[in-house]
């Protein structure tokens, strides 16, 4: 696991690029971490921390409503220990960095791939022969990070290498090869990215107050 002091710049770089990829406000410093005002139907704001500390604990005590998410680069157990009663821990995630370029995968026969770039953001879509969406993903590039976001494969099209094809297509859109590549993965996603040459920088845990 990466030392939290060294982790913080990578975490901010990832979070800033993620905000660009999703069209939400850039992160701002708050309570020893970073706040993003997402203001969506399911999330009002999120705070992301490289390490646990008094700021995280005091913030958790001040929040009493759902749709406010606390995220920490630590195990779920560490996050849970920093929270007062009433908070719910979500399934674990992983903050990851690429060790090498992904294999140059292309979609299997019968699938078509489309790539669209708008400024710093690239979107890849793979469709099946009947035109239904099969896989998709986004990337955003800044001077500090190249991040992958929302890499998804439809259940009916999994285990056909489409996730790897999306990652490879996004990687080819990268302008500066020396820029670190970062993402946050689910438990299932970690298995895919490990096979593509990624390693875990730290666990990535999430908590929120359940809606009543």
Q: Are strands 45-49 and 68-72 parallel, antiparallel or unpaired?
A: parallel
Residues 123, 74, single domain; the answer is: no
- Considering its fold, how many domains does the chain have in total? 2
Q: Is the pLDDT of residue 65 over 90?
A: yes
Residues 114, 76, single domain; the answer is: no
Three-state DSSP state, 51: coil
Residues 149, 191, single domain; the answer is: yes
Residues 9, 83, single domain; the answer is: yes
CB atoms within 10 A of CB 184: 23
Residue numbers of the domain that contains 158: 98-198
Instruction: Compute the C-alpha angle 50/56/61, nearest 5°.
Output: 160
pLDDT digits (tens, 9 = 90+) for 14-43: 999 999 999 999 999 999 999 999 989 999
Residues 27, 91, single domain; the answer is: yes
Residues 129, 149, single domain; the answer is: yes
pLDDT digits (tens, 9 = 90+) for 38-60: 989 999 999 999 999 999 999 99
Confidence of residue 1 (pLDDT cuts 50, 70, 90): low
Residues 66, 88, single domain; the answer is: yes
Q: Is the pTM of this model over 0.75?
A: yes
């Amino acid at each position: 696991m990466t030392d939290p002091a060294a982790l913080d710049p990578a975490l901010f770089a990832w979070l800033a690029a993620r905000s660009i990829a999703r069209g939400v406000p850039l992160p701002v410093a708050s309570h020893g971490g970073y706040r993003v005002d997402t203001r969506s139907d399911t999330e009002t704001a999120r705070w992301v921390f490289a390490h646990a500390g008094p700021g995280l604990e005091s913030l958790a005590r001040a929040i009493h409503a759902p749709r406010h998410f606390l995220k920490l680069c630590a195990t779920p157990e560490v996050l849970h220990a920093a929270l007062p009663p009433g908070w719910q821990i979500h399934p674990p995630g992983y903050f990851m960095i690429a060790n090498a370029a992904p294999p140059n995968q292309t979609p299997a026969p019968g699938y078509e791939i489309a790539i669209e770039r708008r400024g710093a953001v690239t979107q890849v879509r793979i469709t099946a022969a009947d035109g239904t969406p099969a896989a998709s993903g986004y990337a955003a590039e800044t001077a500090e990070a190249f991040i992958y976001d929302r890499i998804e494969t439809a259940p009916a099209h999994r285990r056909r290498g489409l996730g790897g094809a999306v990652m490879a297509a996004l990687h080819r859109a990268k302008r500066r090869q020396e820029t670190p590549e970062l993402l946050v993965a689910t438990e299932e996603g970690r298995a895919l990215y490990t096979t593509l040459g990624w390693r875990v920088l730290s666990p990535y845990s999430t908590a929120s107050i359940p809606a009543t």
